Amino acid sequence: MLTPFYTRRSFLVTSGLAAAALAQGGLAGAARAATLAPTQSMRGGSNNYRPGAPLVDRLGSGFWVTGTVRDAASGAPLEGVRIQIWAATTLGGEREPRNHGSVLTAADGSFRLETEQIVPNFGQPHAHLAYDDGAFRTVFLRPVMPSARDTSVNADFVLARA
């Protein structure tokens, strides 16, 4: 007579063990979520950077640059962090001073800046964002818009203490 590959009892035992292992893994994952991998600077992110872009209410209208800033150590949102933003828009290229501005993050770590429409520059429609204020390690981002017709672009920062 053939012995079944597994019995109902062994199935219950193994599945119970598997569930326990999964649950533990899940808990460990949740504990690890508190420390996040810091965001790495992107290639070309710092191109045409002009340090100390002035804090502005807006740089134009019709296009939104959005994102969030969190602390890598705790995963908590960071408030009052300055993010510098620049891009080629209908006002001109990336070196045009009117295309450079800074915003501060809100209590939930979010930031947003309204600008003129971003236009393709050097072959890709993209924005530049920088955190460069010393308390955390400097990060330069260069998010690319999937389409030149997009009216927003998002970039999230996870910052590591300097």
Q: Name the residues that contact another protein, by CB under 8 A.
A: 42-44, 46-48, 88-95, 119-125, 142, 148
Nearer to another protein, 83 or 88 (CB): 88
Residue number with CB closer to another protein (42 or 160): 42
Query: Please, which residue, 14 or 61, has the CB nearer to another protein?
Result: 61
Q: How far is the CB of 68 from another protein (least distance, A)?
A: 22
SS3 assignment, position 145:
coil
CA distance 54 to 61: 18
Measure the CA dihedral 83/84/85/91, to 10°: 140
Q: Of 129, 100, 104, which is closest to residue 116 (Cα–Cα)? A: 100
Task: Quote the least distance from Cβ 160 to another protein, whole Å.
Answer: 22
- Measured from the CB atom, the residue of 77 and 93 that comes closer to another protein is 93
In the complex, the smallest distance separating the C-beta of residue 26 from another protein, rounded to whole angstroms, is 36
Distances (CA, A) of 133 to 60, 80, 84, 102, 110: 25, 12, 10, 12, 17
